Amino acid sequence: MQRKTSSQVSPEQIVYGVHPIIELLKAKARKIIRLYTTDPVPKAFAQIKAMLPTYPVTISYVNKAQLAHLAGTPDHQSLVAIAAPFVYRKQFFNPDKAPFLLMLDGIQDVRNLGAILRSAYCTGVDGVIVTQRHGAPINGATLKASAGLAEHIAIYQAPSPLQAAQSLKEAGYNLYITNFKGENAARITYQRPLCLVIGSEDIGVSSSIFKYGTQVTIPQRSTDISFNASVAAGIMLFLAAQQD
């Protein structure tokens, strides 16, 4: 899995929950500034404290209501950190070094985004492309939904789906684009270097990029309904990864 190489300028970020903070410390890609917890401390605190970097990290002991206020949710597991901004990749991907990519076109729900990033890590994806336009941010909720695994994924932020698709084709990637009218995703051969493209929860993939790849579909009972975006991504990632 490639490390991220450049940071995007943004405010300090709240990271909450046991696994997101553990993975933040494991990745060592960005600085942790302050750690908030309760007194008495949660069971996971000893493990986290042992992983803290050598530079000073202020530890503050507060009540759960204060932690919920900091995190914006009661789902903090008694641990909240303030960290440097999330690190995005600056350079576009090289198919020789990153033959298995995932592109997300307009995923707007942060929990869907986090769940997809978790599946991407588990299936060995080399990098993920997200879009600035209509894309969900990588925030505390995203990191929580990814169980912190987003910290270990090279994530590139493209200006738009069209520019991302054009850059992928120019680099030599084969695009497999999810769409209701595509070929059966379970019956095709995925040729590497490849990039799977998953569309937004409501309108799917932008029609402007269909011409850049092979359209594929996951068979389902009716076209009146569809898989959740994170479920569809998990299925597609599994199918492509099995042909490695």
CATH label of the domain that carries residue 45: 3.30.1330.30
DSSP state letter for 202:
T
pLDDT exceeds cutoff 80 at 244 = no
CATH label of the domain that carries residue 187: 3.40.1280.10
Judgement on whether residues 121 and 41 belong to the same structural domain of the protein: no
Q: What is the pLDDT of residue 181?
A: 85
pLDDT exceeds cutoff 60 at 10 = no
Domain that holds residue 133: 100-241
> With DSSP H G I counted as helix, E B as strand and the rest as coil, what are the percentages for the chain, rounded to 5?
30, 25, 45
Helix, coil or strand: residue 14: strand
Q: Which of 212, 218, 215 is nearest to 238 (CA)?
A: 218
DSSP state letter for 204:
B
Contact 21, 91 (CB under 8 A): no
Task: List pLDDT tens digits, range 12-61.
Answer: 899 999 999 999 999 999 999 999 999 999 999 999 999 999 999 999 99
- Determine the straight-line distance between the first and last CA of the chain, rounded to whole angstroms: 15
Share of the chain above pLDDT 90, in %: 84
Average pLDDT over residues 100-124: 96
Is this prediction's pTM over 0.75? yes
- Does residue 8 belong to any structural domain of this protein? no
Contact 125, 192 (CB under 8 A): no
Task: List pLDDT tens digits, range 133-192.
Answer: 788 999 999 999 999 999 999 999 999 999 999 999 999 999 999 998 899 999 999 999
Average pLDDT over residues 59-72: 97
Q: How many domains does the chain have?
A: 2
Domain-ending residue, one of 56, 83, 110: 83
Write phi, then psi, for 98 (nearest 5 degrees). Answer: -135, 80
Say how far apart CA 161 and CA 130 lie, in whole Å.
8
Mean pLDDT over each residue of the chain, to the nearest integer: 92
Pairing of strands 194-199, 100-105: parallel
